[in-house]
Amino acid sequence: MTEIPDLVADDEPLHRRIHPTFKKDDGTVSSAAFTDPEMSVDRGSYCDLEQTLLGSSGYGVAVLLTATARGYGQEVVSDPVLLNPAHALVRGEKPKSIARKLARASMWIVQIGDSIP
């Protein structure tokens, strides 16, 4: 099993589950999905998509680069939990302008309703 470093590297992809309600008609994600001051994500280099979507069928997954989140003043810290050692937090206040930037910087890695590639 790969050992997960404590430090989240700038080039690590961060995966966040996206409820179908957040998907806009033009296919983009609403900023409302990125407002939590302690936003849970999975470290994509150490957690496969099946794990991220476990028990959440019908959801999509958006990917965001750690460096991008840090560039918007967010702290990205490892936060392993019992059943998810790759869990991390994107920590920091997210006023609307930051939430919008995070939403715009994220990309679908699993579209709503699609199967995992």
- Site residues (vs another protein, CB under 8 A): 17, 19, 21-22, 24-26, 30-33, 35-36, 39-40, 55-56, 59, 95-97, 100
Name the DSSP letter for residue 29: B
Least distance from another protein to the Cβ atom of residue 54, Å: 10
Contact 20, 71 (CB under 8 A): no
**Smallest distance, Å, CB 36 to another protein?**
6
Minimum CB distance to another protein, residue 22 (Å): 6
Q: Which is nearer to another protein, 30 or 111 (CB)?
A: 30
Bridge partners of 23?
29
Q: Considering beta carbons, is residue 33 or 110 the nearer one to another protein?
A: 33
Contact between 12 and 66 (Cβ < 8 Å): yes
Bridge-partner residues for 18, per DSSP?
60
3-state SS assignment for residue 26:
coil
